[in-house]
Amino acid sequence: MEDRQQQPEPARNPGEKIWDATVKTFHSASFRANQYKRIVQKKIDLNALHKKIAVLHSDLGRLVDENRELLPGTGAADSRVHELLQQLDGLKHAAATLEEEIGAIREEQPAAEEPA
C-alpha cells in the first residue's frame, strides 16, 4: 500500500513532454477562444437591451409630452407610463445581469489538466 502512495513517476521521453505541452497549449487556446465567443455573445445581447431601453425612453418621453396638458392623475396616461416604467425596470435589470455574467466569464480560468 505504501508503494502506491510514494511511487515516483516514470521517466518521460521528450516526445511525451512535447505532446503534453501541445495538448496543454491547445486546451488553453480553445478555452480562451470559447471564453471570447461567450463574451461577444453577451455583449451583443447587452447592446440589444440598451437599444430597447433607448426606445422605451423615447416612448416614455413622447407619452409624457402628449399628455402634459392633461390633468395629473389621468387614468389612461398614468397606467401607460407605469407600464413603460415597469418594462424599463425589467430591461435595466436584465442589462445588469448580463454585465455581471460578462464579468464572471472574464474571471474564469481554465480547469487544471489531470495527468493521463
Instruction: Write the DSSP assignment of 27-39 as a string of letters.
Output: HHHHHHHHHHHHH
pLDDT of residue 6: 64
Determine, yes or no, domain membership for 114. Answer: no
Determine, yes or no, domain membership for 1. Answer: no
What is the rounded average pLDDT of the residues 26-50? Answer: 92
Over the chain, what is the mean pLDDT? 83
Number of structural domains in the chain: 1
Determine, yes or no, domain membership for 9. Answer: no
Determine, yes or no, domain membership for 25. Answer: yes
Determine, yes or no, domain membership for 4. Answer: no
Q: Which domain range does residue 81 map to?
A: 14-107
pLDDT of residue 34: 92
CATH number of domain containing 56: 1.10.287
Determine, yes or no, domain membership for 112. Answer: no
Determine, yes or no, domain membership for 2. Answer: no
- Rounded CA separation 39/71 (Å): 48
**Close Cβ partners of 105 (under 8 Å, ≥ 6 residues apart):** 35, 38, 39, 42
